[in-house]
């Protein structure tokens, strides 16, 4: 039986934002951080791979790299003018385009590789070579708009992968579930008028971007109803995430009947994340993974692909990621979250607040009524 495929490439960990700390350069002004000044550092991702090496889980996965996304692949999502500007700046040693997307020399090629790893993972599932697949790559992709990179995302990895697979005749209906703590604004924008692509984002309300992610953005034209935003209150934890998954995400996917389920898998809803204020544990991610695997089994012969997005805690992301990959591979090789009891004891008492309950009822009425 086909195994869980794991797409990664050491070069992907070499993507660098240079001397940069969000709004000011760190070089020469203050002591540089070990991570180089950018929260989106290689360490959070490399340490997940390292932990899987040490526990032995890597040996149970079908690990491989992939070809970079081609120019044709990139052009299906991004305008020529943006790709040219990005490539020229990358060739000139790097710089920054858009908002919070610094890159060093060679950043264009590394971003194309990151998109290629996502494409490789999706193809491996659609072509039946893998039971399911995970792409551990950087830079991430879910914030990137066609012509405006933002939030560490330089190319839309999932947009590129999905449109390439469609062009190759490999897939029709695709459901994207984004559980990164930030809104999947790029994926939403790319598929906002596409009725064949259901985009769902669970995110901390008013985190990033500040002006997107409202529950009343539901898709446009023929795609009305094919975008679901679930803005969660800060502090939401295990129970709230599972409630949102059970009440909205699972029934919406059952209605949509996708040919494949794609997850924008960010780990920044972790209780330790510096860029989120949520209370998820590794068990939260494992349980959400179990749920989407069950949905995939029921709806699309188990076809499930995940692309790594955000997650900035060097100590917690590896355990959360290990829990997801262990589930995907149905493995007994575990690396239990060392903080799970501490975090469980500190989950919010209120299952949800009143405003959140009302929003869930509204979403149920609109999308599932
Ligand atoms: Zn994020």
**If you write DSSP's letter for every residue of 190-259 in order, what string do you get?**
HHTT-TTEEEEEEEETTSSSTT---TT----GGGTTSEEEEEEPTT-BHHHHHHHIIIIIHHHHHHH--S
pLDDT of residue 281: 97
Rounded to the nearest whole angstrom, what is the distance from the C-alpha of residue 4 to the centroid of ligand 1? 24
Residues of the chain with pLDDT under 50: 21, 23-28, 32
Place of tokens 């790559």: 137
Q: What integer pLDDT is reported at residue 1 of this predicted model?
A: 61
Residues annotated as part of the active site: 143
Distance 280 CA to ligand 1 centre (A): 14
Domains of the chain plus CATH, in order, are 4-368 (3.40.800.20)
pLDDT score for 75 = 98
Using the mean position of ligand 1's atoms as its centre, give its distance from the Cα of residue 369 in Å. 30
Q: Structure pTM? A: 0.95
Distance of CA 339 from the midpoint of ligand 1 (Å): 21
Ligand 1 centroid distance, CA of 140 (Å): 9
**pLDDT given for residue 26 in this prediction:** 47
Please count the other Cβ atoms lying within 10 Å of the Cβ belonging to residue 288: 26
Dihedral sign for Cα 177, 179, 185, 186, please. Answer: negative
């Amino acid at each position: 039986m086909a195994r869980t495929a794991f797409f990664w490439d050491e070069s992907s960990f070499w993507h660098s934002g240079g001397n940069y700390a969000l709004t000011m350069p760190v070089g020469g002004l203050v002591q540089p951080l070990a991570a180089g000044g950018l929260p989106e550092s290689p360490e959070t991702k490399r340490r997940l791979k390292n932990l899987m090496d040490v526990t032995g889980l890597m040996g149970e996965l079908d690990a491989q790299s992939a070809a970079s996304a081609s120019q044709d692949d990139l052009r299906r999502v991004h305008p020529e003018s943006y790709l040219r500007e990005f490539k020229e700046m990358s060739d000139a040693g790097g710089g920054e385009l858009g908002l919070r997307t610094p890159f060093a020399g060679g950043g264009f090629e590394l971003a194309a590789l990151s998109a290629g790893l996502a494409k490789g993972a999706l193809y491996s599932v659609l072509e039946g070579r893998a039971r399911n697949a995970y792409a551990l790559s950087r830079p991430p992709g879910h914030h990137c708009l066609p012509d405006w990179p933002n939030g560490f995302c330089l190319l839309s990895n999932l947009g590129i992968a999905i449109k390439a697979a469609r062009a190759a005749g490999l897939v029709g209906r695709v459901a994207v579930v984004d559980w990164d703590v930030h809104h999947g604004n790029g994926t939403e924008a790319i598929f906002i008028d596409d009725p064949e692509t259901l985009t769902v984002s669970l995110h901390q309300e008013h985190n990033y971007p500040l002006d997107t992610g409202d529950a009343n953005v539901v898709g446009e034209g023929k795609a009305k109803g094919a975008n679901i935003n679930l803005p969660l209150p800060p502090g939401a934890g295990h129970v709230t995430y599972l409630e949102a998954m059970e009440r909205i995400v699972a029934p919406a996917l059952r209605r949509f009947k996708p040919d494949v389920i794609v997850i924008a898998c960010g780990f920044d809803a972790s209780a330790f994340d510096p860029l989120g204020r949520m209370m998820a544990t590794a068990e939260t991610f494992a349980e959400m993974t179990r749920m989407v695997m069950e949905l995939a089994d029921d709806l699309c012969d188990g076809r499930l692909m995940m692309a790594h997005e955000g997650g900035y805690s060097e100590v917690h992301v590896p355990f959360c990621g290990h829990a997801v990959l262990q589930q995907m591979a149905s493995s007994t090789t575990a690396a239990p979250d060392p903080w799970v009891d501490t975090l469980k004891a500190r989950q919010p008492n209120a299952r949800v607040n009143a405003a959140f309950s009302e929003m869930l009822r509204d979403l149920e009425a609109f999308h599932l009524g």
